[in-house]
Amino acid sequence: MMDKMIFGRYIPAESPLHRMDPRSKLILVFAFVCVVFIANNAITYGILVVYTLFMVLSSKVPLHFLFGGLKLVFWLVLFTLILHLFFTKEGEIIFQWGWVTIYEEGLKKGIFISLRFFLLILMTSLLTLTTTPIEITDGIEILLDPLKRIKFPVHELALMMSISLRFIPTLMQETDKIMKAQTARGVEFSGGPVKERIKAIIPLLIPLFIGSFKRAEELAIAMEARGYRGGEGRTRYRQLRWGLVDTLMLLLLVVIAVALFFFRS
């Protein structure tokens, strides 16, 4: 189950998308979310599908991996499609069998809306699949930089994000250790009625929480000892580079958006 999840996973590869600056990728995905809503007929949706396919291919993420990971999303998309088929009662009847009636508009709307939903998911997955979490954090920090002027704690948020990212594997290891220790004391984590299993979580969560507080305190001391005093006057080690690919990719999306305006009905 965990192995198949692709949300938040990063797949290392050498591709134009991997080489892109996280800032441009974030802007691109955000813009795409808006652009998708311009489409309203077969041609415009066709353009979007071709564009998304182009992006998928240029990401070099293995297709079986990408679509295998989106299985759950397929079911959701199918569900939206069926809902629309049954509940939209406009246009001509194209199919009737017993009490099931399907209207033309229902079919059209169903397909369009599920397609839109699917393309959005695909594009956001591409972002996380081709960008390391820390790059995303850096990208967000720099993009939100202007907000510092209105005293929005951009640096602090980014630091919080990067520290959480750093500690996720550590906490996973710790959870595993505590689980083993509690199993040795007779707690059963798998099997048994649901009520028992929920109860079993408590002896897992409490040590985990206490441990995390201790970690947080020690980490804060270690950070201070290394001269951390907030975002002021700090320099950056990791650098972001805006390249030709970034400009081209954004231009491509602009072209797509113009084409959509042109062909929409």
Partner 1 sequence: MNKPLVSIEHVHFKYEGQEEYALKDVSLQIYDGEWLAIVGHNGSGKSTLAKLLNGLQYPEKGRIQIGELELTEDTVWETRKLIGMVFQNPDNQFVGTTVQDDVAFGLENNGILREEMVERVENSLKQVQMEAFLQQEPHQLSGGQKQRVAIASVIALRPQIIVLDEATSMLDPRGREEVLNVIRELKEDHDMTVISITHDLEEAAKADRMIVLNRGQLYREGTPEEIFQLDEELVKLGLDIPFPVKISKMLREKGIPVSKSYLSEEALVAQLWTSHSGK
| Chain residues that interact with partner 1, rule: CB under 8 A | 133-134, 162-163, 165-166, 169-170, 173, 214-215, 218-219, 221-229, 233-239
Q: Residue 26: how many CB atoms within 10 A of its CB?
A: 19
Give whichever of 98 and 227 is closer to partner 1, judged by the CB atom. 227
Q: How far is the CB of 6 from partner 1 (least distance, A)?
A: 20
| Closer CB to partner 1, 58 or 162, in the complex | 162
Could you tell me which residues are beta bridge partners of residue 103?
93
Quick one: 133 or 207, whose CB is closer to partner 1? Answer: 133
The 3-state DSSP composition of the chain as helix, strand, coil percent (nearest 5) reads 70, 5, 25
In the complex, least distance from residue 173 CB atom to partner 1, rounded to whole angstroms? 6
Nearest-5° angle of CA 6, CA 12, CA 16?
Answer: 105
From CA 41, how far away is CA 64, in angstroms rounded? 29
CB of 241 to partner 1, least distance (A): 13
Q: Strands, E, within the chain: which ranges?
A: 93-97, 100-103
Nearer to partner 1, 145 or 218 (CB): 218
Measured from the CB of residue 214, what is the shortest distance to partner 1 in angstroms? Answer: 8
Nearest Cα neighbor of 66 from 76, 79, 57 is 57
**CA separation, residue 149 to residues 95, 142, 153, 157, 229 (Å):** 59, 13, 10, 15, 19
Nearer to partner 1, 2 or 34 (CB): 2
Any residues with CB less than 8 A from the CB of 242 and at least 6 apart, and which? Answer: 21, 23, 24
Kindly state the smallest distance separating residue 170's Cβ from partner 1, in Å: 6
Closer to partner 1 at the Cβ: 64 or 238?
238
Residue 179 to residue 170: CA distance in whole angstroms: 14
Shortest gap between Cβ of 21 and partner 1 (angstroms)? 17
